[in-house]
Amino acid sequence: MLKNLKQHTKKLTITALAGLTALSLVGCNENEKTGDSVTSEEKVKVSLYSTGSLNVQNFWEEVIPLFEQENENIDVELVFLPAGQGGQSTMDRLLAAKKANKDSGVDIYEGGLEDAIRGEEENLFEKLDESNIENIKNIEENNMKGTQNLAIPYRASAVVLAYNSDNVKEVPDTPEDLYKWIENHPGKFAYNDPTTGGSGSSFVISTIYNQLPAEAMNIQDESIMKDWDKGFEILNDLEPYLYQEGVYPKKNQGTLDLLANGEVDMVPAWSDMALEQMNNKLLPENTKLKQINPGFTGGPAYLMVPADNDEQEKEAAQEFVNYALTPEVQKVVIEKMYGFPGIKWGLLDEELQLEFESVSGKYRLFNGGTLGEELNKRWQKEIAN
Amino acid sequence: MIAKKQKLLGIAMVLPSFLSLIILVVWPVFISIKQSFQNEENQFTWDNYKYVLTDPMMVNNFKYTMLVTLISCVLVLIISYALAAYLRFSNSWFSKVISRLYFIPMFIPGIIAIYGFINMYRDNGWIARFIGSENMPSFVYDIKGLVLMNLWFNIPFTTMLLLSALSAIPGSVIESARDVGAKKLTIFFKFILPLSYNTLLVALTFAFMGIVGSFTAPYLIDKNAPQMLGVSMQQHFSVYHELGQSSSIAVILFLMCAVVGFIYIKNMMKNESHS
């Protein structure tokens, strides 16, 4: 056995060595590649940095080849960072490159509005308007508000209630109805840990800001934090009636799994994730979605073009953003991603518009910037315990 | 000439691991330590450590991490030792089968094992279907589940270590002790345990370090609070974006492992000077 162990260690060491060597080789390779793109003139290479759940990655993997077919001289490389695994680092990278006056290597960036706002002071992103991106005229004007033309809302999604229609007969219409439903059906509702996924976070934010005037969602001043008490009280009161008297599964998928295996009957979920999984039969057929009124938060996803690109990259990046706003890509948004289109509904087929009636109720936009982090911290301290 | 070549070859073989150690481990550790003493404006501060060591939530997280680690380590050592002793001293067909099967968990990717575990033990999982969900204690989203998962991850390797130590004890020692009339318990405490004590310590070190810094299992199986330090560290880093605080958690975690490592090395040196 001892001999065996020795052999094992030997094998392990060799494998580890081989792995490391391979790693360092890959490293070299990458360097070569980037070096290449600077010298070769016929093909422009741009990197798209994006984050989110798997459906976002699948979406880009569908769209990028379509784009490259139409624009043979542009090569788009997708750098995808799954949600909660350092998406923030892309912003840090951009900021660091700006300070050092270097090219960040990020040519197109998909992120939230808070990133665009954070980048504004540093002039991180390029202004985009109809002169460089023609299809901006297709965008729903409401969504362009607050972007200062630094970010293009190319799609949107919202958090809705997903429920088991066999067990839930009286579907709540308002947040108050929902809280009553939860109390009357102990253990049958779950929202995920808001620090790990947007749907739980939306439930928490909506609950807290429903107790405040509607404009409060746009306040980024810390003085509003003391007004959160009432909402936190509601969350605390709800806890004994939640799944396992207050277990908050990790990630958006965590609660959807509970719904799928029948442990709970109702969860807040991203409309796009839920629709996609219903379509792939990952959620049972009795699953239905509904937006309550006032709605949960949701919002657009934005494309930004960093200002540190050279002329060629800039044009290619703009071309790509423009392409994302064409009806063809928007159809992919709807059909493959089950997201809301970023362009006016009127520009799309009527059939597609009908499909979305159940969830297209009005979602709200939380624009509290870094207050979201403070909210998470307080949730972890007061509710998770 | 040949000697020189061999020397160069030796260096060439060591270099990749040495360089990767410097680039992938030493350098990031250095950055973390530096960051743990910095505030957002990159100025020197003790605030991160003050927060990590005094905030009630963090103190609870520390206590909880130690609790989970200790329970898991003790259980792992007891179970593995019993298993290894059985495999060493029994010649039955059953022990032969087990000796070929016990390390299978090492070849199952962690995340798959965890999801399998969740499906098996969740409140309406496979086991609950057999025994009825009202008889089923909660394992998932509970410390019980986390400890069970740690057993799954640590028993095979620990057993392997202990088994090699027990196999190294010559059968003649035990037989001669038995011949002069030593009882089984006496043989165990006077011969077997002392002769495998060092390996036990090695196994404890490995189990401790693996469990204290674990992330995936507590992230997916455990409840929301208190948290294991690995989970809390990730939360401070990528949810709150508190680089300094997460770095100081990392440094403290590192120190905890260093203490255990120190005890282990000290013991090793003591033994070497004895022999």
Q: Which residues of B touch A23 (CB under 8 A)?
A: 20
Q: What is the pLDDT of residue A28?
A: 42
B32 with B120, same domain: the answer is: no
* pLDDT tops 70 at residue B257: yes
- A15 to chain B, minimum CA–CA distance in Å? 12
A145 with A134, same domain: the answer is: yes
B271's tokens: 């033994």
- CATH number for the domain spanning A283: value is 3.40.190.10
CA torsion sign, B151 to B156 to B161 to B162? positive
Residue B136's pLDDT band (cuts 50, 70, 90): confident
DSSP class of B240: S
- B275 to chain A, minimum CA–CA distance in Å? 21
Interface of A with B (CB under 8 A): 1-2, 4-5, 8, 16-17, 20-21, 23-24, 84-88, 193, 195-196, 244, 247-250, 261-263, 373, 376-377, 380-381, 384-385
A82 with A126, same domain: the answer is: yes
- B180 to chain A, minimum CA–CA distance in Å? 29
Q: What is the pLDDT of residue A29?
A: 43
Q: What is the pLDDT of residue A4?
A: 52
Q: Suggest the residue from B136, B239, B243, B249 to mutate for an interface test with chain A (most A CBs closer than 10 A).
A: B239
Highest mean pLDDT among A17-26, A291-300, A346-355, B201-210: B201-210
For residue B240, give the nearest of A85, A86, A373 by CB distance: A373
Q: Suggest the residue from B143, B238, B243, B245 to mutate for an interface test with chain A (most A CBs closer than 10 A).
A: B238
A110 with A167, same domain: the answer is: no
Mean pLDDT for the stretch of residues A279-286: 90
Residue at B41 is within a domain: no
* pLDDT tops 60 at residue B275: no
Q: Suggest the residue from A118, A196, A382 to mutate for an interface test with chain B (most B CBs closer than 10 A).
A: A196
* pLDDT tops 70 at residue A340: yes
A334 with A372, same domain: the answer is: no
Quick one: how far is CA B252 from the chain centroid? Answer: 17
Q: What is the pLDDT of residue A358?
A: 63
A163 with A286, same domain: the answer is: yes
For residue A261, give the nearest of B57, B124, B238 by CB distance: B124
Q: What is the pLDDT of residues B189-212, one digit of tens each?
A: 888 888 888 899 999 999 999 999
- A23 to chain B, minimum CA–CA distance in Å? 10
For residue A84, give the nearest of B60, B161, B238 by CB distance: B238
B95 with B1, same domain: the answer is: no
- CATH number for the domain spanning B127: value is 1.10.3720.10
Q: What is the pLDDT of residues A28-72, one digit of tens each?
A: 444 444 444 444 457 889 999 998 777 888 899 999 999 999 998
* pLDDT tops 80 at residue A256: yes
From A129, A122, A131, A83, select the one nearest A101 (Cα to Cα).
A122
How many domains does one find in chain B? Answer: 2
Mean pLDDT for the stretch of residues A350-369: 72
Q: What is the pLDDT of residue A298?
A: 83
Residue at B154 is within a domain: yes
Q: Which residues of A touch B57 (CB under 8 A)?
A: 380-381, 385
Residue A333's pLDDT band (cuts 50, 70, 90): confident
Residue at A16 is within a domain: no
Residue at B137 is within a domain: yes
Q: What is the pLDDT of residue A7?
A: 54
* pLDDT tops 70 at residue B26: yes
How many domains does one find in chain A? Answer: 2
Q: What is the pLDDT of residue B74?
A: 97
A270 with A207, same domain: the answer is: yes
Q: Under an 8 A CB cutoff, do B160 and A17 touch?
A: no
| Average of per-residue pLDDT values in chain A | 83
- Percent of chain A at pLDDT exceeding 90: 38
For residue A20, give the nearest of B17, B239, B240 by CB distance: B17
Residue A323's pLDDT band (cuts 50, 70, 90): very high
Q: Which residues of A touch B123 (CB under 8 A)?
A: 244, 263
Residue numbers of the domain that contains B8: 1-36
Q: Which residues of A touch B168 (CB under 8 A)?
A: 2
Residue with structure tokens 């980037």?
A34
Q: Under an 8 A CB cutoff, do B225 and A385 touch?
A: yes
Q: What is the pLDDT of residues B66-121, one digit of tens each?
A: 999 999 999 999 999 999 999 998 889 999 999 999 989 999 999 999 999 999 99
B127 with B17, same domain: the answer is: no
A183 with A332, same domain: the answer is: no
B17 with B52, same domain: the answer is: no
Q: Which residues of B touch A8 (CB under 8 A)?
A: 160
Residue at A114 is within a domain: yes
Q: Report the alpha-carbon distance of residue A376 to residue A258 in Å, rounded.
A: 22
For residue A373, give the nearest of B20, B163, B241 by CB distance: B241
Q: What is the pLDDT of residue A36?
A: 43
Q: Suggest the residue from A20, A380, A381, A382 to mutate for an interface test with chain B (most B CBs closer than 10 A).
A: A380
- A4 to chain B, minimum CA–CA distance in Å? 9
- Amino acid present at A267: V
Q: Are B61 and B273 in contact (CB under 8 A)?
A: no
Q: What is the pLDDT of residue A56?
A: 87
Quick one: how far is CA B165 from the chain centroid? Answer: 18
A366 with A224, same domain: the answer is: yes
Q: What is the pLDDT of residue A335?
A: 80
* pLDDT tops 50 at residue A204: yes
Q: Under an 8 A CB cutoff, do A244 and B141 touch?
A: yes
Residue at B224 is within a domain: yes
Residue numbers of the domain that contains A229: 158-297+360-382
Q: Report the alpha-carbon distance of residue B243 to residue B249 in Å, rounded.
A: 10
B96 with B142, same domain: the answer is: yes
Q: Under an 8 A CB cutoff, do A86 and B160 touch?
A: no
Q: Which residues of B touch A263 (CB under 8 A)?
A: 122-124
Enumerate residues 6+ apart whose C-beta is below 8 A from B200.
B77, B81, B162, B165
Residue at B106 is within a domain: yes
Beta-carbon contacts below 8 Å between A and B: 67
Q: Under an 8 A CB cutoff, do B238 and A196 touch?
A: no
B24 with B139, same domain: the answer is: no
Q: Where are the alpha helices (DSSP H) in chain B?
A: 2-21, 27-36, 47-54, 56-89, 93-101, 110-121, 126-131, 143-168, 171-179, 184-187, 193-212, 216-221, 229-238, 243-274
Q: Under an 8 A CB cutoff, do A20 and B167 touch?
A: no
For residue A88, give the nearest of B13, B164, B241 by CB distance: B241
Q: Which residues of B touch A384 (CB under 8 A)?
A: 224-225
Q: Suggest the residue from A195, A258, A259, A376 to mutate for an interface test with chain B (most B CBs closer than 10 A).
A: A195
Residue at B109 is within a domain: yes
- Amino acid present at A181: W
Q: Suggest the residue from A236, A250, A252, A378 to mutate for an interface test with chain B (most B CBs closer than 10 A).
A: A250
Q: Which residues of B touch A376 (CB under 8 A)?
A: 239-240
Residue with structure tokens 């000439």?
B1
Q: Which residue has the higher pLDDT, A20 or A266?
A: A266
* pLDDT tops 50 at residue A25: no
Q: Under an 8 A CB cutoff, do A88 and B225 touch?
A: no
